Structure 1
């Protein structure tokens, strides 16, 4: 009985993640993604929209992340490089944060 309850909770979480992926895709004219293992924390679902917008979600397990991506129809890439990385568009805020970490600008905390 506990396994059934756990399976239902896992199913609901994967469905919520898929819904969030679909919403991101709708806002950004489509989306592609990549799954990044985070160790014990789970798996990050990195999303890149056709318009260059980007974001991420975290699933507690790789299987759940994969299930959510498949349900949402997300095209997955093995690595975050090449064509996928080239689509990402960053603005002044991101550049300031990235530079700040390196050259004493705004902290990342």
Structure 2
């Protein structure tokens, strides 16, 4: 158990640093992703988003609690509306939609 507590503490530091860099606070959602563990999806006060992977749902929840963020049951509309995307995300989505590889840019 000590190993999972260490991992949760490390993840909590990463969550806290993310929030501090992007407006001082963040919200999140924890989702089971199979053998890989659990994904902590984060949205900061300024709309920046990111994610971290924990080995278990319990570790992810412990990290979020330690970091002091609000954890939602789902990545609902209210949380999604807080996400701000930039040119990189739009070009990446366009490349995928147009049949290109992720990261491809659509022709101008």
TM-score above 0.5, yes or no:
yes
Give the number of equivalent residue pairs. Answer: 102
State the secondary structure of the residue aligned to 1:87. Answer: coil
The RMSD of aligned alpha carbons is 1.2
Match of 1:4 in 2: none
Cα deviation digits, residues 30-52 of structure 1 (max 9, x gap):
10001111111110000000101
Q: CA deviation at 1:108?
A: 2.0
Unaligned segments of structure 1, at least 5 residues: 1-6
Q: CA deviation at 1:104?
A: 2.9
Counterpart-to-counterpart distance in 2, 1:91 and 1:67: 31
User: When the two structures are superposed, what TM-score results if normalisation uses the length of structure 1?
Assistant: 0.88
Q: Point out 4+ residue stretches in structure 1 off by more than 4 angstroms.
A: none
Match of 2:87 in 1: 92
**Greater fraction helix:** 1
Q: Does 1:25 align with 2:19?
A: yes
User: When the two structures are superposed, what TM-score results if normalisation uses the length of structure 2?
Assistant: 0.89
Q: Give the 5 Å matches for 1:1-109.
A: 7-29=1-23, 30-105=25-100, 107-108=101-102
Counterpart-to-counterpart distance in 1, 2:29 and 2:85: 18
